[in-house]
Every structure is written in C-alpha cells, then in structure tokens.
A and B are shown apart, each in its own frame.
Chain A
C-alpha cells in the first residue's frame, strides 16, 4: 500500500468539516492525502485524543469545524480552539513544533476553503518533516514525552483549568476579581509545568517501585523537588509507599 505523506489525521465536524469534504468530492477537487475521524462537533475532541494521534505516529493533526458563530452547537468550536491552544503550548514545551496541530473554521458550503486549509496544513507539515526526527527528538524520547503529556491532560487540574478557559480568561475568578487573558495564560502554564514534573515522577514509578534518588536521576530533577512532589502525589492518592529496602523508601504509582 502506498504511504500517505505527510501523515495527517483530521478531526472533521459533521456539519462543516465533513460536509465541506463531501462537497469537495462532489466537485472533484484534488485534496492532499490525510485520514479522518468524523465527530459531531470539534468540541468533542479531547486534548488526549490530539496527543493520542501524535503518539500513533501522526506528523500533523488538524481540526476542521464550523465558522465562529456558526457552530451547530453554539460554542463547541470556541472550546476546541482553546483546547488546541493548550495542546500547542504543551507541544512547544516538550520541544516539538506547535504548528503540527491546528484548527480551521470553514463554511459547510465552502469546498474550496476545505481544499485550501488541508493543502496549507499539509504543506506546512511536509515542510516540518517527520515528527520527532526533524524536531531533534529521538523516537523513544518523543514517545515518553508524549506519554507525560497524556498524563498531564488526563489530570483533573489541567482539565479543569483548560475547561474553564473560555469562562475565566478575560472574565472574573470566583472572588469576582478580573482575570486578564495574559494572567490566565501564565497561571495555566505554571500549573502545566508543575503537572508535567509530577507526571514524570508518576511515570518513572509506574513500572516498579523506585527510591527518591532513582526517580531524581531518571527525571533529571533535584531530589528536593522529587520529595516535595512525592508528598503531594501521595496526598492525592496517586503515589504510595511500596516498601522500605535497606532503609530506603520505595515509591510506586497507586
């Protein structure tokens, strides 16, 4: 079977992305190669699914949904846009090019726009090259970083903050104080970096019980940081003391 280059997975909303792709076919437009998952709304696409696609070997992931203000479900695309934003930030953080993930909003009747966005994205991803190799990250390392991201975006802390994004940024916090989008952005990224560290510890202690110094050397973090985070993770019930071997406590993922 012919290989599809670059490897792009598109999440198409039923009402615009998918509809416009149907129309592109009816009009016999030439589209670049990509594979697709049909969803009712781009708002359905979980950050975890975007990361999962990269883990599965995609070089690029795109969401195509309704134009702003025309979402069949009112604001699903706005939520999707914010989720894409946070996953893009996360990709950048792990040293990958954030442009590998994009979202585009088009009219259901605009096959030409569908062709343009897929062609542009395809060209962009092609110019970026194979994910990992051309980002200077070795394959195994890329995979382990993406696995950490999966952990981060499974965690309730990141999900809560990014889920509240539309409501919070530019709005007010629970005390009625204003939150600027910049302040919100900074806040979330602080939480993200913190969660990223914790998730690395979790993963390091996932396959076998580990001591603090083992975890510290595996994650290249200081022992102080590791101890501090282990305390938090233990309180959250995510990490527990497995055993004490020769006076050294061994921790494992709960």
Chain B
C-alpha cells in the first residue's frame, strides 16, 4: 500500500443486543483513538438497508479503503457486508467483521467487562484490517468434457445424461465391453425387465453419439489439476494418454463377496444370485424343481458387517420369476431380516407369499446347514436344515439348487483408485461423501463425483437415479462459462520452496503438489482445489507457503494486538 490505511469502523448496536450490554460510545471513542481509524460510526442495525447505506456513504465520503464492522458473526453476515463494501467500489476482502455481539456483549458478566472485551476485539480486528489486501477469487474456464470411470449401468446412465446436456464424455472401462456387473444379470430391479435388451439399447445409443468415446481395457492412472480443469491419465494397451476434463465421475461399481466356504458353495448346485441369473438367462434346467435361497450369505457378518441392501430384493425378484415361469417349482427364501425398503418392492413379499414361496427365518448364531444327501439317489441332492424362528421349529428342505444371496463389496482396487482421485474411503473401502450428514453426494473436490455401487450398494433403479443426479450436479458446474473459486487459497513462494513435498503429504485434497516443469521442481498449489485450511502453510519447513486472507503477517498482527 502506498498510503496509510484509512479504516472505517462501524459499530452495530444490534437493536440493543449489543447497545444494551456494551457502552458503544466508549467503544467508539476507543476506536477513534486507533491511528489507522479515520471514521467511526454507530448504528442500531447495520444489517438493515439504511445501515448498509450508511457504510456505503461513509466509504465514499471519507475515502475509506478498508472497513471493520463490529457487529455479529462473520459466519452469517460477512457476505452481506462484503456486498455492501463492493457496491461502494471497495474490494470485498478489504473488510473485517468481528462478532462483538456473541463473543463480548452476550457472554460477559457485566457492562464493564463486555466493553473492555469489545475494545480488545476491535483493536485486534483493526490490526488485522491494516494488513488486508484486495483479493480476486480464483477463476477457471471449465472444460466441457467429463471422464466417467466405469461403463456399467451407472456410468453409462451418467454418460447418457451428460451427452443430453451437451457435454462430451469419455468412458474408461477396465474390461473389454460395456455393461459391467449387470451384463451378467438376466433381469434387473425394480421389475423383471430383461437386462440384455435394456443394456444393448443404452450402449448402442451411446456408441452412435459422436460426443461419446469409449476406452475399453483401460484405467485411470493419475489425476491432476482442479475442478473444471483436470488432466486425466488413461492407460490402455496402447500406452498412456492424457485427456483434459472438467469433471470426473467414479462409477466403478462393486464386486460380489465370494461365499467360498459358506453353506457348501461350489458354483454348481450351490451358487450365488449372480450364478442363478446366468442360469435363468440360458433357461433354468427343468430338473431344478426345488430351490432354496439363503439370505445374508456373508453379509451382516464379521467379514461384511453391513447390509448390502439389494440381495433381498434380487432374491424376491428371482423367486417370483421362477414361480411365474414354473408354478410347480418349490422356492423357499431363508432369511434373517427381509429388506425391501421403499414402495416399489414391499408388495413383492406379499405377492411371493401368495404365490406359494416359502419363507423361513434364521438367527445369525444358528445359520441353516446345507448337506449333500448320501447315496446314489439322483434327486434331490441337497438338504437344507434350518431352525425357523417364525414357527420355532426345525425344518429340513430337500433341494436341487441352493442360491446364496451374497453381499456386494468394494472393488479390489477401490482404495488405489480412491488415492488416485483423492477421495476418502470408508472402513470397508467404499468411496464416500465429504460430509454425508450435511451434504450428501458432495465430495471433497467439487469436480470429482462418485455414484453407483462404488459409493454403496444400490439397486439398478437407485443407481440410475443417482447417475442422473450426478449428471445434473456436473451440469451445474460445467455449464457455466467461468467457475469462481474461493479467494482463500495457498500460494507457494517458489524462491523459498525446496520441493520437499511435505505440503503434498499433509494436503487432504491433492490441492498442492510438487511438480517438475521447465523451471524446475517446485510445489504448485491449485487455487480451485485448495479449500484454504492452511495446514500446509503451518507445516512448511521453509515457510514458503502463504495463505491468502490468513497470512502470517495478518495473524501476527492480531497476536501483537491482543494486549491484555
């Protein structure tokens, strides 16, 4: 700054909330005594239009270049005052709001101590304000292309919606074809739609679209940059290639938990629901007349401690399909608790019972036992013994086929992928929201979204709903001409940086990275990805990182002004 700061202090009485507890006249004369303060005003409520007008007028009349509002919380009112300040042609960051209402007036035992605390807070606030600099928000022109990792139902659905909104999409699929887990399924939830027809139509539509690109046998190996401007490295048989994208969708799905060692699983006559789907696709062997399904085969156990949500619905769907195709078949569902949440499938339980599907309930500690009948008798070959807690009796079921409803678990490389894209995982390995309770489907970086089974087990219907939501979130972001980030981000002083990489290791958001470029190896901070916490700055061995709006100088001046 060429000239001395000209600070205006505006003391809000907050309609008596402050005025009744702090001697505002004393506070005002205290403020007027501070050297850089050129104007002090008091008003009953600065947050109201007349109050804001007073601030704007004073800025112009007294040629103020920065403002302190001693009022309520910056957490609630800072944006309001920032707007007023910028309307008066001041940079909005040349403002400090200090909360003398909640931190002084309301909590001090008496007027004297409230006033003295307000004075001290004001002195600290003015000291900080003297050191403020005008700031611009980070800006980036977003790339109108999205990389979707995984070409299963959810990835494809996201791609479809993004294409409809005019974005280009690159689908990176690990396997050789689109369709993912669902392509092995005969029908899909919520109703018995034929999966094959549905998927073929979807894939063919996408393949015809010139804005759509498929990379099969490919994986993402690194991700750089920030929201709106990512650089994604894709590796396939032809080597590595870098593509630019405005956003990245992680839709890698999940894997089936292998029930090896449980309930006599052998893949032949003791199979999984997915195995049953393949049998149904080929046409179920007419000799398989008696079928038992065992729920929670691995799920809700020590090994997979959560409910996989979709296995009960899949079992019901398949049991009903078999019963409809072949009414003579005997189908039983042996369950711990039946979960068909939501209005779409609840009725299926009743329908199933009406159609003659038998239900048996077992306790976790007393699971059903699957045994092979001894002797040469061909059919039925299996016997399932279950202690049915509904009737409190032991039942022996002769079966031709036992189907295990096994849970979904995160893909084996979900943790590796999470590291590449910089997202946290839950203890199981599912990629998770940043703040599930407050902001579902918001992830640590705005431009990296997770949907489908990679997030948590979902039915195909729910997966599609999530995919459409994800596409819409991305459209909100990338349809703008320019993305505006925060003004608080880290900045590296390249002259001091020794590229030690400490900042990279402490940053939870991949916002600061050591990069080798033509000028050498230095840490680079991405203004768009940085959330402004300052953890890197406080740790930098060379003190080479500056935090905008929370600079070392500003904090030091506050500490120095905290005179008691």
Contacts and interface: CB of A to CB of B under 8 A. Distances in A.
Contacts of B117: 4, 33, 35
Nearest to A23: B102
Interface string A29-60: 11101011111110111110100110011100
Given A44-B547, A154-B543, A58 B562 contact: yes
B119 A1 contact: yes
Interface in B108-154: 108-109, 112-113, 116-117, 119-121, 124
A159 B540 contact: yes
Interface string B74-93: 11100000000000000000
Nearest to B109: A30
A35 B564 contact: yes
A182 interface: no
Contact of A43 (B105, B534, B540, B564): B534
5 contacts: A37-B559, A38-B74, A40-B488, A52-B559, A79-B539
Contact of B505 (A4, A18, A164): A164
Given A14-B75, A37-B562, A4 B107 contact: no
Q: A21, A29, A44: which has the most chain B beta carbons within 10 Å?
A: A44
A56 B560 contact: yes
A22 B346 CA distance: 46
Interface in B538-559: 538-543, 547, 550, 552, 555-556, 558-559
Contacts of A80: 538
Interface of B: 30, 73-76, 99, 101-103, 105-109, 112-113, 116-117, 119-121, 124, 424, 444, 488, 498, 500, 502, 505-506, 508-509, 531-535, 537-543, 547, 550, 552, 555-556, 558-560, 562-564
Contacts, number: 162
Contacts of A5: 564
B499 to A, nearest CB: 13
A132 to B, nearest CB: 14
A43 B113 contact: no
A24 B105 CA distance: 11
B562 A22 contact: no
Contacts of A157: 541
Contacts of B502: 160, 163-164
Q: A24, A28, A35: which has the most chain B beta carbons within 10 Å?
A: A35
A29 B107 contact: yes
Contacts of A45: 538
A33 B108 contact: yes
Contact of B533 (A19, A57, A72): A72
B535 A44 contact: yes
A190 to B, nearest CB: 18
B121 A36 contact: yes
B75 A9 contact: no
Interface of A: 1-5, 7, 9, 14, 18-19, 21-26, 28-31, 33, 35-41, 43-47, 49, 52-53, 56-58, 72-76, 79-80, 83, 154, 156-157, 159-160, 162-164, 166-167
Contacts of B101: 25
A49 B505 contact: no
B556 A79 contact: no
Contacts of A28: 106-107
Contacts of A25: 99, 101-103, 105-107
B440 to A, nearest CB: 16
Q: A47, A72, A73: which has the most chain B beta carbons within 10 Å?
A: A73
Given A3-B564, A9-B559, A26-B106, A46 B99 contact: no
A2 B102 contact: no
A4 B562 CA distance: 11
A20 to B, nearest CB: 10
Given A2-B113, A37-B562, A39-B550, A46 B538 contact: yes
Given A21-B103, A156-B541, A56 B562 contact: yes
Contacts of A159: 539-543
Contacts of A30: 107-109
Contact of B120 (A4, A26, A31): A4
Contacts of B75: 14, 18-19, 22
B533 A41 contact: yes
Q: B117, B531, B547, B562: which has the most chain A beta carbons within 10 Å?
A: B562
Nearest to B124: A35
Nearest to B30: A1
A37 B124 contact: yes
Contacts of A26: 102, 106
Given A49-B556, A74-B424, A24 B107 contact: yes
Nearest to B96: A38
A41 B535 contact: yes
A132 B393 CA distance: 78
Contacts of B563: 56-57
Nearest to B437: A70
A37 B545 CA distance: 20
Contact of B535 (A43, A53, A57, A154): A43
A23 B108 CA distance: 14
Nearest to A7: B564
A247 to B, nearest CB: 38
Contacts of B73: 18, 22
B533 A76 contact: yes
Contacts of A49: 538, 552, 555-556, 559
Contacts of B99: 21-22, 25
Contacts of A35: 117, 120-121, 124, 562, 564
Given A39-B550, A49-B556, A83 B538 contact: yes
